[in-house]
Structure 1
Amino acid sequence: MLTANRSDIGKIRQINEDYSWVGELAGGVTLAVIADGMGGHQAGDVASRVAVESLVESVEAAIGDGSYSEEEGSLLIRNAMEKANDTVYRLAAQNDRYYNMGTTLIAALVRGGRAIIGHIGDSRVYLIDSAGIRQLTDDHSLVAELLRSGQISQEEAARHPRRNVISRAVGTDEKVEADVIIAELEPLAVLLLCSDGLTTMVDDDRILETVGDSQTDLSAKAERLIELALHAGGDDNVTVVLLQEEAGTEREV
């Protein structure tokens, strides 16, 4: 599995509250994780780091030899996200500096052309393949809920004054529900995980154009996505992780 992991503080923020991790686990399984933290007194960067480290630790401990079923993998991701929530929530409850800190959290567990994706918040996972670009995750945000219910238009959503308010986060409540989905990846498809520092600055067409460029390697594509977000204003921290199977990779039947 080819991977690229890039993050930038952006042009406005004083610290980078995004945190990401990507690596290969037992049995050729690839795990990728991004968290976008929130909270005063630098608590956002603590929340995102703790959430990612907790999730990675949980998955590594439970993955075994990597021969999980889709049901087992889905439960594994869901349990790991609930454990991350518990870890962040307890840390916030024990330290006044971290009061009400929280974070988004997205994770992709990839093996043999199948991705098990868990998400909480408004960080996103996209699939880029021969059919174009498709957002796999639904934002857990106020504006997304208004959009889904038909109360506002897509154009109104883009400039809504509360577009950064998320309706579900890791660490802000004692319990949180993660959405888990399964996606099939065709050969050479790219899975993009990103914080909203990318998607609020760069539209889907530009993302597709960049990631779909067959003349550029995966690392350069990730760098280019960061550059596009910065050029558009860099209003937030921006983090991207790209995953793609190498050409000629044999898959299990």
Structure 2
Amino acid sequence: MEIAMKSHVGCVRQVNEDYFACTADETGRVLAIVADGMGGHQAGDVASRMAVERILQELRLVDRDLTPVDEREVLMNAVMSANEAVYSYAESHPECSGMGTTVVVALINQEGGVTAHIGDSRLYLYSEGGLRQQTEDHSLVQELLKSGQITVQEASFHPRRNVLMRALGTERNVRIDLGDFVWSDGDIVLLCSDGLTNKVPPAVMETWMQKPIPLQEKVDGLVQYALDAGGEDNITLIAVSNTASAIDAGQEEG
């Protein structure tokens, strides 16, 4: 597999409340995480960093021979552990009251992967059939869309499109959505915060994935597109491509 990633504070905000990590073990299995914190000064970046670090800690020694069902369970347990960590921290630090974070995480091997998410950070799969969103936002706008109260076009500009119905760390008990996917040679998995998806239409994302350029250039180009479109929010994107390229088993996060 090949990995590319980028995070940018954006054009308006002073602090990057997004946090991300991508690691690979000796078997080539990849763990990718994007979190987008919320809760005001200091709280958002604390929440996202804490969530990512806890998930990494929980999954660092995952058995390489787990079945997909077992992987889903350990992934869910890791995210629930992160929820407890963020919630408990906010309870003991009044200045961080109300903090939380979105999380989207994928544990990926050569055949496919298992996913977990809460909030409106997303996971997409690009394949021969095009770009498909694999996660469903836990947002007010998504609920309005599902009930037919607004159109897709209206959702793009809705004044409350950033209101979340679910987030990590805001309650002691939260509901995590789990998923899975299979992929083929040349397919690409994208994990991103809403700073990207609020500015880059799916058709543009798909066009960039089709370009015959290195994966890192695709990621850089999409982040720059979001910046050129205003970049009011923090922007984070991780891309994992199903290629025969060897990858470093180290870790990048930020």
Match of 1:193 in 2: 191
Q: Matches of residues 27-176 of structure 1 in structure 2 within 5 Å?
A: 27-61=27-61, 63-64=62-63, 66-176=64-174
Match of 1:242 in 2: 239
How far has the Cα of 1:3 moved from its partner?
Answer: 0.4
Q: C-alpha distance in 2, partners of 1:32/1:10?
A: 22
RMSD: 1.2
1:13 equivalenced with 2:13 (yes/no) = yes
Higher relative contact order (CA 8 A, sep 6+): 2
How far has the Cα of 1:28 moved from its partner?
Answer: 2.1
Q: C-alpha distance in 1, partners of 2:225/2:26?
A: 35
2:219 to 218, 222, 229: 222
Q: Unaligned 5+ residue runs, structure 2?
A: 247-254
Contact 1:118 1:179 in 2 (8 A): yes
* Equivalent position SS for 1:155: helix
* Equivalent position SS for 2:205: helix
* Equivalent position SS for 2:104: strand
Q: Unaligned 5+ residue runs, structure 1?
A: none
Which amino acid is the alignment partner of residue 28 of structure 2? Answer: G
Q: In terms of mean alpha carbon deviation, does 94-103 or 19-28 score higher?
A: 19-28
Deviations 1:220-251 (A, max 9, x none): 111111100000110100000000122489xx
Q: C-alpha distance in 2, partners of 1:223/1:36?
A: 19
Q: In terms of mean alpha carbon deviation, does 19-28 or 185-194 score higher?
A: 19-28
Deviations 1:112-158 (A, max 9, x none): 22110110000000011110100000000011011011111112211
* Equivalent position SS for 1:139: coil
What is the TM-score when the length of structure 2 is the normalising length?
A: 0.94
How far has the Cα of 1:26 moved from its partner?
Answer: 4.7
* Equivalent position SS for 2:115: strand
Contact 2:184 2:242 in 1 (8 A): no
Contact 1:128 1:212 in 2 (8 A): no
Q: C-alpha distance in 2, partners of 1:229/1:40?
A: 23
* Equivalent position SS for 2:132: strand
Q: C-alpha distance in 1, partners of 2:25/2:173?
A: 28
* Equivalent position SS for 1:28: coil
Contact 1:37 1:46 in 2 (8 A): yes
* Equivalent position SS for 1:3: strand
Q: C-alpha distance in 1, partners of 2:75/2:216?
A: 26
Distance verdict in 2 for CA 1:248–1:54, change over 3 Å: closer
Which amino acid is the alignment partner of residue 244 of structure 1? Answer: S
Q: C-alpha distance in 1, partners of 2:159/2:185?
A: 40
* Equivalent position SS for 1:104: strand
How far has the Cα of 1:41 moved from its partner?
Answer: 2.0
Deviations 1:139-179 (A, max 9, x none): 00011011011111112211111100011100000011111
